[in-house]
Amino acid sequence: SKACTAMPSPTAQGLGPGQEKKIGHRRVDASGETTYKKTTSSALKGAIQLGIGYTVGNLSSKPERDVLMQDFYVVESIFFPSEGSNLTPAHHYPDFRFKTYAPVAFRYFRELFGIRPDDYLYSLCNEPLIELSNPGASGSIFYVTRDDEFIIKTVNAKEAEFLQKLLPGYYMNLNQNPRTLLPKFFGLYCVQSGGKNIRIVVMNNVLPRAVRMHLKFDLKGSTYKRRASKKEREKSNPTFKDLDFIADVPEGLTLDQDTYSALLKTLQRDCLVLESFKIMDYSLLLGVHNLGLAVRESQGSPAGGDEKKPQAQRALYSTAMESIQGGKACRDTLDHDATMGGIPAVDGKGERLLLFIGIIDILQSYRLIKKLEHSWKSLISDGDTVSVHRPSFYADRFYKFCSTTVFRKSSLRSSPSKRGRGGALPAPKNSVQTQLSVEREENQENEDLHLRGARGFPLLEEDGKDGYHTPYPYRG
């Protein structure tokens, strides 16, 4: 099915007659129609589904084999004329070209997380993609699959190029330890239409739509201008920031000791991975589901509410709890119906919560633009509060904020109702700086070797035959 989901009404978007809302390449006109680089959202969704359907189906007919280094450089390109061809079906969208980056490598990555080709195709292509109506300030378009498994996000040329360069080393880390809060990238594609390149990534979905998020935060560990705007607060599902968290959740979110230790171990490891790649400006996306409030809401709605029951996600290590405590063992010991994949916690008022978390926005490297941004920001503010810093400082500050302000350790060893503690990890005992610096010293040698000497990647505008260039250095 290639039908598109109806967009919210203009009033829902806060637009009056004749008004247009523009952020970056993303525009929403007065009728509620979204366009990105002058391609309508419905045409983009159709192109994505046709393109992924073709490329994954074509790949599944080829024998499986080990991933080779050259697989990271491959770009496959196929033209989709609207009248169809001997390879592609006819469609009612403008002609477009669909490019798939590193198809064999990404197939391996999907297998690493237990995603079979037929499941991937079913999620992405069988039912209409749903456009998220509150995409944030980046100017990107976000789609979610109807089964909540995957997020599709438009990215700019620099982010897509950076992801290409990152892939070999990034997935070496994920292969060593798939229990991570880092984003899992399952595909990188480009739709060329009307002379424009629209690049998209397919990622894991951190916040399932089927679970009501009563609060949502984007946290960096910075306080400089880190408060949700008045306009953001007026939205039906606003995303709050660091200063909002400090003001509204002053006592933090309390986890039992085993869960707290496992979460901090995961965050510590993830911060070191990001730092080793000179990545920064990332955030912790935190969704909070209030169990007591959810019960009260369902009692106040007709017939107990008609919300669909959340389904267990198919991908391995896909839920917040699995990300910090492992896969099958965690599934066997935790009652998914009770936790819906979230991490149990309580707030300062004793309200029982489920937390859904993930690290997002990692496709930022510390380059000249960031150095310049930090220089002028430091002139007008306290340098330590600015969110653009050298990667080691950023990682330390991010980890400290998460481990001391956001998450707190319960004085109780474990909640009495917890049925299993599979994969519990020892609590870090030293200071925040020491915890990160010890492993940082051990990994210094490996850091120097990350992607050094790798062959250049084809530019995203190329078809993969020529146009190799040297990746910019990661150090200095």
Please give the Cα distance from 453 to 470 (Å, whole number): 9
Please give the Cα distance from 167 to 428 (Å, whole number): 29
* pLDDT score, position 231: 87
* pLDDT score, position 227: 92
Contact 365, 279 (CB under 8 A): yes
Answer whether CATH 3.30.465.10 is correct for domain 215-302+313-449.
no
Angle CA 415–294–406, to nearest 5: 55
* pLDDT score, position 222: 87
CATH class of domain segment(s) 21-204? alpha beta
Task: Encode pLDDT of 110-162 as tens digits.
Answer: 988 889 998 999 999 999 998 887 656 667 888 899 988 999 999 988 899 98
Tell me how crowded residue 285 is: count the other CB atoms within 10 A of its CB. Answer: 20
pTM confidence score: 0.75
* pLDDT score, position 181: 93
Q: Where are the domains of the chain?
A: 21-204, 215-302+313-449
* pLDDT score, position 240: 93
CA-based nearest residue to 80, from 107, 117, 55, 103: 55
* pLDDT score, position 435: 59
* pLDDT score, position 429: 44
Beta bridge partners of 235: none
pLDDT below 50 — which residues of the chain? 1-17, 304-307, 327-337, 368-369, 371, 374-376, 379-381, 386-387, 416-430, 445-476
Burial 254-270 (b: 16+ CB within 10 A, else e): bbbbbbbbbbbbbbbbb
Task: Encode pLDDT of 254-288 as tens digits.
Answer: 999 999 999 999 999 999 999 988 888 899 999 99
**Exposed, middle or buried: residue 47 (CB in 10 Å: 0-12, 13-18, 19+)?**
buried
* pLDDT score, position 470: 35
* pLDDT score, position 171: 79
* pLDDT score, position 411: 82
* pLDDT score, position 210: 81
* pLDDT score, position 5: 37
